[in-house]
Structure formats: structure tokens, C-alpha cells
């Protein structure tokens, strides 16, 4: 249960003063529903108020603070034109205060003629007159209550910065003093303020780095603590020691020898699985590094020991592909592999459920349907999660609680994230890295082109297809919305069909499952040669004959995502090309990022550089990160603070595993503040 002290922060802001239905949409778009959301909606920048007493000395374009006197009203003829109040400074310079959509009674009352007021707002040149739209109005003797620095917030249509500041002020007024959870000596060393003060300080002065660092630390600490609790609770659970005898693995007929990295990773997994505490291991390996084989070996290890294995994929497409791959690799082995996704209904589903319950199915592949309530395993020994970044810690925990004896857990990710982020998101896990590629990989040449040269791109595509090749065409992320992605993809498919007819296939996230499968299957079988897609093809999809990938709007993707997309090619026996189409006006950072893509194919390097290049924002990208987005902490904060947060969390758990001490209780508050409720639930009697 959330501690009472946090209740005011979790109140809905629809209860705030002055939040009418008109603000509901813009606030929702920003993800602001409760006071706590607003409290952590930290300002993104600031403007310094230009304090002056003469309009003719003030700069248009800046926020000014100035004493002015109303001398006239200019009601407008039409209802839609604004109401204006003519103001003068004490030297006789004029400025108009402009009120849109207000009835004129309100500004008239606020600004009685000939009564001096202290006015603050953005001074704008409008033709050859000056104006300030919807200013702050104070009594002259209140002028000093206005901070010299004005915070600027992330906004959305229909929400002004002034409104936002007002909403923030209301949220802050509800923010309680909270008990201190930071280790006292660390707090002293950093000279950080207490939580509430830090929050108020950042809102008042966005440049207050020290206060911001404290809030960032809190968030990172909560994350680390939550991961430790997951780890602690999983350590407490009993698992089943699994030691296969190797007979199934010996039967595998592979056309290649495992790489050293694959052997090493598998050795580590085998070692973990032999233990009585459940394995929690992350297998990190760049696209194409051969994670599937490692997974299969681990699954067979479980089956040899009479247990079952399950493999979870983030999408239907990937689940089907894994299913096919595993069956192919394991063909000739006495191993029953089945698939279960949300689309399997009726008799087929019943039969699969039966097979799982009676143990006749050894390995189940599927989407998260495979861990639903109704799915009962006879003896689940190992769960493999592919492309973990789609799943959150909470889902990992749900998995772990599935069996009385917890299954061993292997998480695989192709997102080569930097070490600091690995700690942040997978801190509870051991890590194996596949840092060696299978031999004989064909190089991928990466080119960056302006989107305005689309005709040339289409010509290159035509030559490629005429030569027997296949290609992906990835459509840009128009907005963070699947609908617009879909529209972009549909339009692109249409224009390409004018040229290439039915050689063009289309797949996007909103298509019905069977249609998606059909489109993928047609492409895999080379019945279509060009596959127009949204990022649903991002992870895992494997069509070796496709050696060209064209990515539209490449500057809008995260680098890790681009790298993943690029990994769709370079899988066959032909050299491959990745064409990154960029917008025409590119900022310096975007330019540097695309140049980096051109320069290197090393996923870990890309991830490290991306972290450096993007001042803010996250390397994981919201699209692929599930819960991963941090609200407060920047990547720089993470890099600087994750180690001490981890140590601190570790020490606290070591001394006070139940979080019962005074500081433990405070740490609980911190966990709830960052909504790690599930982690607190793992505490004994928590
Ligand atoms: P990942 O899932 O890590 O992106 P996959 O497991 O799909 O990579 O493997 C990519 C390709 O490499 C597959 O076609 C696979 O058969 C092949 N492969 C895997 N291991 C080896 C190896 N040791 N030697 C040669 N090819 C390999
Ligand atoms: Mg894979």
C-alpha cells in the first residue's frame, strides 16, 4: 500500500483549480494526469526576465518585467479579434496588452485605467507597435515576488507556459516534505537539498544543477532498489537445478561450429541452470551474433533434464519466425516444439494447452500469451525472453512467479546498450555478451542521402530488384502514433506499386495477424521483392536474400533503432546496402549521428556514442523501451550516478532487506514515489 504521505501527490489534477475540459486533452498528451506527473514535469529551459522601466530600452522577443499604467481600452469590432489595453511606461512609451478569447470585462477589471501595475510577459514587435500577449499582472509592490528567471515547460497545443506554471504551482503546493532516503554521508558529500526543496528549486530555476541531480539520483536509486528487490526475492525462491546430459544437443546437425562467444555464453548459462536458485541472466549480442543458437542449447538442456522450456517473443511475426527456426534447427530430434500466440483460438489452442499440461510439449514459443493465467506447464524449467526491451521488470517478475519453483530466466537483447544503461535496466541480472560475430559475414555499406533524391533511390531499388535482389523499405516515424506510421507506409507502398506492381508487399503494426503473416511469408518466399514496413520489422526478422534496406526519415530514429533495422540485411551471401534517407534541414547532432551510422557497424560503439551525442532523450528510444524511460534523470545523470545508487541500494538491502528501519521506510516512500509498487510487493509482508 502506498504510504499516506504520498496521497496528495497522487491526486488527479482534474481536481486542481481552473483545469477545465479544454485542458484535458493537452495535459493527457503530455502524460500529465496526477500531481506527481506534473511535479516531475520539469522545466526544459528558462528565460531571464529583463527588468527595466523603459519600453524603448527593452528588447522585443524577450520576457520583460516593467511597471506600466493602463490608459485606454481598445475593444475590437469582431468577437474573434483580441481585446487590447493600451499601456504606457513612465517615459510615455506605449505597449498593447493583448487578450484573446476573453470577454473584455475581465481585463478591464484587472487593469483599471490610470492604476499602475507591474507587468511581465514576452515583449513582441507587432508591425511598428509593441505588444504583450496574456501577461502576468501584479501590483507594483508585488514585483519582487516574481522570480527573475522564468521556467519554460514542455507544452502541447492548447496549453500555454503560463497555464503550465500555474498547474505546476498547484502541484508543488501539494508536494509534502518526505523522509530522507539518501544515505546521509552521500547527501552531505553532494550537498544536496531535501526532496521537496530540490523539486521546488528545479521548478523555480531550471539551471539549478544540484537540485536536479538530487531528483535524478532519487529516480535512479528507486530503479536500482527495485531491481535489487527483484533479485533478492528471486534468490529467495527455489529453482530447479537443471543439468541435461547433452544427448539432444549432441544430435543437433548444424552447418557451422559455434563461435567462441556462443560457447562461453552457453557455458555461463549451463552453470547458472545447475544452481538451486533461479538464473537471472541477460544475453547481450548484436544483431546477427547468433543468440538463437544459444537459446536453443539452453532450451535443450532443460528438455534433456525432463523439463520444459518457453520462449517469448515481442511480436507475432517474431514468434512465428523463432518457431520455424527452432524447428528447423531441431529437426530430427525427439523434441516437441509448439507455438501459442494471442491468435491461436479454439481447438488448436486447447490442444496446445493440453500438451503443456501433460508434458508432451517440450518447448513452447509464443507472444506473451504463453504466460497467461490459463497456461499451465507441467514442469517449466527455463523461460527465454527475446528482445527484452519490449518487456518491463514487472513482466519479468510475473514470469518468475509463474511456477512454484521459479523457472530459470534468460533474457536476450540485441540492443547493445552501454554499461551504465545495462545497470539501470537490467541491474538485477548477470550479463553474458556475444562480442564475436559468426565468421563470413557480408559487409553492409551504409549511405546517407537527402530524401529529395527519392527518384534516384527508386532507380537504385529498380536495379536491385531487376538483379534478383529483395529490399526492405522502412517508413518514417511520423509521430508517436501507430496510425500515422501506418498512413505513411500505406502511401509509400502505393507509390511504389505504381512502379513495381505486385512485387511490393506491406506490413505494419495495425494489420490483422494473418495479413501480417501472409505479407511476411510472401516476402520470405520471394513472392514479393520489396517489403514496405513500419518498425514492426525492427527486431529479429530474417530474410537472407534481402540485401538492401532503405530507411526513410532516418534522422527521426534513435541510433540503436537504426542499427537494429540495418541488421535486417547482411544476413545472406551477398554484400548489403543500407540507405538512410534524411530530411533536408538537419541539425548538427542529427548529422553527427547519421555520420556515425555510416562509419561503424559496431553496435556497442553506436550505443556509447549515441549516449554522448544526445544531450537528452534516451538511447533506448521510447518506442522500444517499455517502461525504460526515465522521467527525471538524463543519460548523463545515469552515467554519473548509477554506480553510487547501485552501491547505496545494495548496502541498504544488505543491512535491512525488509526495508523496516527508518531509512528503509523512507526508501519505500521513494519506491512508491517512482511507482515501483510491484517491487515493494516483493518484500516479505511488504
Ligand atoms: P541474433 O538473434 O543474435 O540476431 P541469429 O540467432 O538470428 O542472430 O543468427 C543470425 C544468423 O547467423 C542465423 O542465420 C544463424 O543461423 C547464423 N549463425 C548463428 N551462429 C552461427 C555460427 N556460429 N556460425 C555461422 N553462422 C551462425
Ligand atoms: Mg534474434
Residues 229-247 pLDDT 10s: 887 877 777 889 999 999 9
Q: What average pLDDT does the segment 502-513 reach?
A: 87
Q: CATH number for the domain including 470? A: 3.40.50.300
Residue scoring higher pLDDT (12 or 403): 12
- pLDDT tops 80 at residue 575: yes
Closest CA to 78 of 108, 113, 104, 96: 104
Residue 653 lies in a domain: no
Q: Based on the domain organization, do 9 and 60 belong to the same domain?
A: no
Residue 481 lies in a domain: yes
Residue after which a domain boundary falls, among 600, 634, 661:
600
Q: How far is the CA of 416 from the centre of ligand 1 (A)?
A: 16
Residue after which a domain boundary falls, among 600, 619, 643:
600
| Alpha-carbon distance values, 371 to 88, 283, 375 (Å) | 70, 21, 6
Residue nearest to atom 25 of ligand 1 (CA): 438
Residue 608 lies in a domain: no
- pLDDT tops 60 at residue 388: no
Residue 398 lies in a domain: yes
| Alpha-carbon distance values, 214 to 196, 218, 632, 635, 666 (Å) | 11, 6, 10, 14, 15
| Alpha-carbon Rg for the chain in angstroms | 29
Q: How far is the CA of 439 from the centre of ligand 1 (A)?
A: 10
Q: Based on the domain organization, do 33 and 54 belong to the same domain?
A: no
Residue 339's pLDDT band, with cuts at 50, 70 and 90, is very high
Q: What average pLDDT does the segment 128-140 reach?
A: 90
Q: Based on the domain organization, do 70 and 125 belong to the same domain?
A: yes
Residue after which a domain boundary falls, among 434, 452, 486:
434
Q: Based on the domain organization, do 245 and 361 belong to the same domain?
A: yes
Q: In what order do the strands lie in the sheet with 546-551?
A: 444-450, 576-582, 546-551, 470-474, 530-533, 504-507
- pLDDT tops 90 at residue 126: no
Which residue matches cell numbers 521488470? 393
The domain tally of the chain equals: 4
pLDDT of the residue at 613? 66
Q: How far apart are CA 54 and CA 87, in angstroms?
A: 12
**Which residue range is the domain that position 340 belongs to?**
241-434
Q: What average pLDDT does the segment 350-374 reach?
A: 90
Cα–Cα–Cα angle for 446, 452, 455, rounded to 5 degrees: 80
Residue scoring higher pLDDT (576 or 622): 576
- Note the helical H segments in 470-626: 482-500, 513-524, 559-566, 588-599, 603-613, 622-625
In the chain, % of residues over pLDDT 70: 91
The answer to whether 471 and 537 have CB atoms below 8 angstroms apart is: no
Q: Based on the domain organization, do 331 and 471 belong to the same domain?
A: no
Q: How far is the CA of 291 from the centre of ligand 1 (A)?
A: 7
Q: Which three cell numbers stand for residue 395?
A: 513482466
pLDDT of the residue at 590? 82
Residue 638 lies in a domain: no
Range of lowest pLDDT (446-450, 507-511, 611-615): 611-615
Q: CATH number for the domain including 113? A: 2.40.50.140
Residue 181 lies in a domain: no
Q: Based on the domain organization, do 13 and 141 belong to the same domain?
A: no
Q: How far is the CA of 294 from the centre of ligand 2 (A)?
A: 10
Residue nearest to atom 27 of ligand 1 (CA): 438
Q: Based on the domain organization, do 273 and 403 belong to the same domain?
A: yes
In a mutational test of the pocket of ligand 1, which residue from 266, 293, 569 has the highest number of ligand atoms less than 8 Å from its CB? 293
- pLDDT tops 90 at residue 572: no
Residue scoring higher pLDDT (337 or 150): 337
Q: Based on the domain organization, do 478 and 519 belong to the same domain?
A: yes
Q: Which ligand is nearest to the CA of 311?
A: 2
Average pLDDT, the chain: 87
Residue scoring higher pLDDT (625 or 308): 308
In the chain, % of residues over pLDDT 90: 51
Residue scoring higher pLDDT (638 or 664): 664
Residue nearest to atom 14 of ligand 1 (CA): 571
pLDDT of the residue at 82? 86
Residue scoring higher pLDDT (258 or 624): 258
Residue 439 lies in a domain: no
Residue 134's pLDDT band, with cuts at 50, 70 and 90, is confident
Which residues form ligand 1's pocket by a CB distance below 6 Å? 256, 258-259, 262, 285, 287-293, 414, 438, 542
Q: Based on the domain organization, do 344 and 303 belong to the same domain?
A: yes
Residue 616's pLDDT band, with cuts at 50, 70 and 90, is very low
Q: How far is the CA of 329 from the centre of ligand 1 (A)?
A: 11
Residue 508 lies in a domain: yes
Q: How far is the CA of 288 from the centre of ligand 2 (A)?
A: 7
Rounded to two decimals, the pTM is 0.67
Which residue matches cell numbers 512465428? 320
Q: Based on the domain organization, do 465 and 371 belong to the same domain?
A: no
Q: What average pLDDT does the segment 535-562 reach?
A: 80
Q: Which ligand is nearest to the CA of 260?
A: 1
Q: Which ligand is nearest to the CA of 285?
A: 1
Residue 625's pLDDT band, with cuts at 50, 70 and 90, is very low
- pLDDT tops 60 at residue 102: no
Q: Which three cell numbers stand for residue 108?
A: 478591464
Residue nearest to atom 17 of ligand 1 (CA): 290
Q: Which ligand is nearest to the CA of 289?
A: 1
Q: Based on the domain organization, do 284 and 380 belong to the same domain?
A: yes
Classify burial at 260, counting beta carbons within 10 Å of its beta carbon; exposed 0-12, middle 13-18, buried 19 or more: exposed
Range of lowest pLDDT (19-33, 209-223, 528-542): 528-542
Closest CA to 448 of 305, 343, 326, 597: 597
**Ligand 1 closest atom vs CA 291:** 3
Q: Based on the domain organization, do 118 and 158 belong to the same domain?
A: no
- pLDDT tops 70 at residue 128: yes
Residue scoring higher pLDDT (677 or 667): 667
- pLDDT tops 80 at residue 484: no
- pLDDT tops 60 at residue 37: yes
Residue scoring higher pLDDT (538 or 510): 510
Amino acid at each position: 500500500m502506498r504510504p499516506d504521505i504520498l496521497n496528495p501527490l497522487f491526486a488527479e489534477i482534474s481536481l486542481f483549480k481552473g483545469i477545465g475540459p479544454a485542458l484535458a486533452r493537452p495535459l493527457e498528451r503530455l502524460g500529465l494526469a496526477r500531481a506527481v506527473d506534473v511535479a516531475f514535469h520539469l522545466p526544459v529551459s528558462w528565460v531571464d526576465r529583463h527588468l527595466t522601466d523603459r519600453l524603448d530600452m527593452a528588447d522585443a522577443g524577450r520576457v520583460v518585467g516593467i511597471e506600466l499604467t493602463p490608459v485606454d481600452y481598445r475593444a475590437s469590432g469582431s468577437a474573434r479579434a483580441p481585446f487590447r489595453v493600451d499601456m504606457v511606461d513612465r517615459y510615455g512609451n506605449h505597449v498593447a496588452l493583448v487578450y484573446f478569447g476573453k470577454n473584455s470585462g475581465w481585463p478591464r477589471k484587472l487593469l483599471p485605467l490610470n492604476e499602475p501595475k507591474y507587468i511581465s510577459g514576452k515583449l513582441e514587435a507587432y508591425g511598428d507597435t509593441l505588444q504583450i500577449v496574456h501577461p502576468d499582472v501584479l501590483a507594483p509592490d508585488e514585483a519582487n515576488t516574481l522570480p527573475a528567471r522564468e521556467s519554460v515547460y514542455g507544452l502541447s497545443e492548447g496549453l500555454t507556459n503560463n497555464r503550465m506554471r500555474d498547474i505546476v504551482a498547484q502541484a508543488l503546493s501539494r508536494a509534502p516534505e518526505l523522509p530522507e532516503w539518501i544515505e546521509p554521508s552521500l547527501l552531505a558529500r553532494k550537498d544536496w537539498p531535501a526532496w521537496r526543496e530540490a523539486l521546488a528549486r528545479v521548478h523555480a530555476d531550471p539551471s539549478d544543477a544540484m537540485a536536479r541531480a538530487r531528483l535524478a539520483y532519487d529516480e535512479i536509486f528507486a530503479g536500482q532498489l527495485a531491481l535489487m528487490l527483484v533479485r533478492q526475492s528471486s534468490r529467495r525462491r527455489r529453482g530447479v537445478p537443471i543439468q541435461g546430459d547433452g544427448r539432444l544437443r549432441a544430435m543437433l546437425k548444424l552447418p557451422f561450429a559455434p563461435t567462441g562467444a556462443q560457447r562461453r555464453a552457453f557455458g555461463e548459462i549451463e552453470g547458472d541452470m545447475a544452481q538451486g536458485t533461479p538464473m537471472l541472466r541477460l544475453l547481450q549480442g548484436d544483431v546477427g551474433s547468433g543468440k538463437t543458437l544459444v537459446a536453443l542449447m539452453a532450451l535443450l538442456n532443460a528438455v534433456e533434464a525432463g523439463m520444459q522450456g518457453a520462449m517469448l517473443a515481442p511480436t507475432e511475426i517474431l514468434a512465428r519466425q523463432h518457431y520455424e527456426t527452432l524447428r528447423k534447427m531441431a529437426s530430427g530430434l525427439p523434441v516437441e516444439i509448439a507455438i501459442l500466440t494471442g491468435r491461436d483460438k479454439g481447438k488448436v489452442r486447447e490442444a496446445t494447452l493440453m500438451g503443456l499440461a501433460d508434458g508432451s510439449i517440450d518447448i513452447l514459443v509464443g507472444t506473451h500469451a504463453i504466460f497467461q493465467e490459463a497456461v499451465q506447464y507441467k514442469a517449466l524449467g527455463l523461460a527465454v525472453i527475446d528482445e527484452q526491451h519490449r518487456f518491463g521488470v514487472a513482466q519479468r517478475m510475473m514470469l518468475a512467479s509463474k511456477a512454484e519453483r521459479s523457472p530459470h530466466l534468460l533474457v536476450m537483447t540485441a540492443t547493445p546498450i552501454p554499461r551504465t544503461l545495462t545497470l539501470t535496466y537490467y541491474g538485477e541480472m548477470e550479463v553474458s555478451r556475444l562480442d564475436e560475430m559468426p565468421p563470413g559475414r557480408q559487409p553492409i555499406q551504409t549511405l546517407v542521402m537527402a530524401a529529395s533524391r527519392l527518384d534516384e533511390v527508386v532507380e537504385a531499388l529498380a536495379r536491385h530488384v531487376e538483379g534478383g535482389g529483395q529490399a526492405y523499405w522502412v517508413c518514417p516515424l511520423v509521430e508517436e502514433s501507430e496510425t500515422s506510421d501506418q498512413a505513411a507506409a500505406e502511401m509509400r507502398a502505393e507509390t511504389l506499386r505504381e512502379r513495381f506492381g505486385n512485387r511490393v508487399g506491406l506490413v505494419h503494426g495495425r494489420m490483422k495477424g494473418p495479413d501480417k503473416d501472409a505479407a511476411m511469408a510472401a516476402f520470405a518466399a520471394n513472392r514479393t521483392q520489396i517489403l514496405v514496413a513500419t518498425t514492426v520489422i525492427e527486431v529479429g526478422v530474417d530474410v537472407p536474400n534481402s540485401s538492401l534496406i532503405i530507411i526513410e526519415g532516418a534522422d527521426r530514429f534513435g541510433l540503436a533503432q537504426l542499427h537494429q533495422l540495418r541488421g535486417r540485411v547482411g544476413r545472406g551471401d551477398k554484400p548489403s546496402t543500407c540507405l538512410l534517407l534524411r530530411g533536408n534541414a538537419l541539425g548538427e547532432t542529427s548529422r553527427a549521428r547519421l555520420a556515425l551510422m555510416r562509419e561503424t557497424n559496431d553496435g556497442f560503439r553506436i550505443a556509447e556514442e549515441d549516449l554522448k551525442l544526445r544531450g537528452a532523450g534516451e538511447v533506448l528510444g521510447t518506442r522500444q523501451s517499455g517502461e525504460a524511460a526515465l522521467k527525471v534523470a538524463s543519460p548523463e545523470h545515469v552515467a554519473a550516478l548509477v554506480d553510487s545508487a547501485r552501491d547505496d541500494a545494495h548496502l541498504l538491502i544488505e543491512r535491512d532487506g525488509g526495508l523496516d528501519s527508518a531509512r528503509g521506510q523512507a526508501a519505500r516512500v521513494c519506491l512508491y514515489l517512482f511507482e515501483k509498487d510491484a517491487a515493494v510487493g516483493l518484500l516479505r509482508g511488504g
